[in-house]
């Protein structure tokens, strides 16, 4: 028996919004430590890794490890049926071929359940090595989303250059060129507004704007985003989900032809 309950459906809606543009389907691996999903996007350029810890749920029970392959478009249709303040419970029997989403209104007067067929997906798990990154940038997630959106107008790819002075995002194309520089903030009223840089060595890498923009769909999950970079290895874009886990996106840098 698997059962996981969240007080608010909003968080699950936001998680789905953060992955459904990149993935058509995904396998949710459930164990007593929580729920994990790892999947490459359709073109195999980026990787999504979602971790939701069992202690972050209002209620969590997982008697036996189960893997639930879900069509994310179908899941999105079901989650649309939940109000933001509904409690959501995800339930499945051991070896089941369906999963049930149950939504309860705050006053418990409306209860709805939606059963969805599970899929058998060919899952190809990738081992992600522990890496000490040369540069780790933390910045407001909305700021990163804005920069990605703005620079995508100029080019398909964006250069991210990180030094101890700051981080620079650049794009150039037929229209012209764009540069956005962010310095490390000295003092801020709110922690969420801070830009911080931990640098061992300066790094300059090029990434496809299309994927970066897809990652920023996770912005509603977290006020801050963390970018971890080293030469010649994939960028990690991480959004922490408060008290519940995180979503990480890995993107291979572009290489000069």
Q: Strand 2-6's sheet: what is its strand order? A: 59-62, 2-6, 87-92, 98-104, 111-117
**Could you tell me the smallest distance in angstroms from the CB atom of residue 246 to other proteins?**
18
- Total Cβ atoms within 10 A of residue 51: 17
**Could you tell me the smallest distance in angstroms from the CB atom of residue 256 to other proteins?**
7
DSSP state of 144: H
- Total Cβ atoms within 10 A of residue 190: 8
> Please, which residue, 96 or 121, has the CB nearer to other proteins?
121
**Could you tell me the smallest distance in angstroms from the CB atom of residue 205 to other proteins?**
12
The span from the CA of 253 to the CA of 8, in Å, is 36
> Please, which residue, 61 or 210, has the CB nearer to other proteins?
210
**Could you tell me the smallest distance in angstroms from the CB atom of residue 218 to other proteins?**
17
- Which residues form the interface with other proteins (CB under 8 A)? 40, 43-47, 124-129, 208, 233-234, 250-257
Structure tokens at 54: 């069992």
Please choose, from the candidates 15, 77, 91, the residue with its C-alpha nearest in 3D space to the C-alpha of residue 48.
Answer: 15
> Please, which residue, 40 or 159, has the CB nearer to other proteins?
40
> Please, which residue, 57 or 249, has the CB nearer to other proteins?
249
């Amino acid at each position: 028996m698997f059962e996981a309950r969240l007080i608010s459906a909003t968080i699950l809606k936001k998680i789905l919004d953060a992955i459904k543009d990149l993935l058509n389907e995904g396998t949710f691996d459930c164990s007593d430590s929580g729920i994990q999903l790892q999947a490459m996007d359709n073109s195999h350029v980026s990787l999504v890794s979602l971790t939701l810890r069992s202690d972050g749920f209002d209620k969590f029970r997982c008697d036996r490890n189960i893997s639930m392959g879900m069509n994310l478009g179908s899941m999105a249709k079901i989650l649309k049926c939940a109000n933001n303040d509904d409690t959501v419970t995800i339930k499945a029997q051991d070896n089941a071929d369906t999963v049930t989403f149950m939504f309860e209104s705050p006053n418990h007067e409306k209860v709805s359940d939606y059963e969805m067929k599970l899929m058998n997906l060919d899952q190809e798990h990738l081992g992600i090595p522990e890496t000490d990154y040369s540069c780790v940038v933390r910045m407001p997630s909305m700021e990163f989303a804005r920069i990605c959106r703005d620079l995508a107008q100029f080019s398909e790819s964006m250069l991210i250059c990180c030094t101890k002075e700051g981080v620079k995002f650049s794009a150039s194309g037929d229209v012209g060129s764009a540069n956005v520089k962010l310095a490390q903030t000295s003092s801020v009223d709110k922690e969420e507004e801070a830009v911080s840089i931990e640098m061992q060595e300066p790094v300059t890498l090029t990434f496809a704007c299309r994927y970066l923009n897809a990652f920023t769909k996770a912005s509603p999950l977290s006020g801050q985003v963390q970018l971890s970079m080293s030469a010649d290895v994939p960028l990690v874009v991480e959004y922490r989900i408060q008290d519940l886990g995180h979503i990480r996106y890995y993107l291979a840098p572009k290489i000069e032809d």
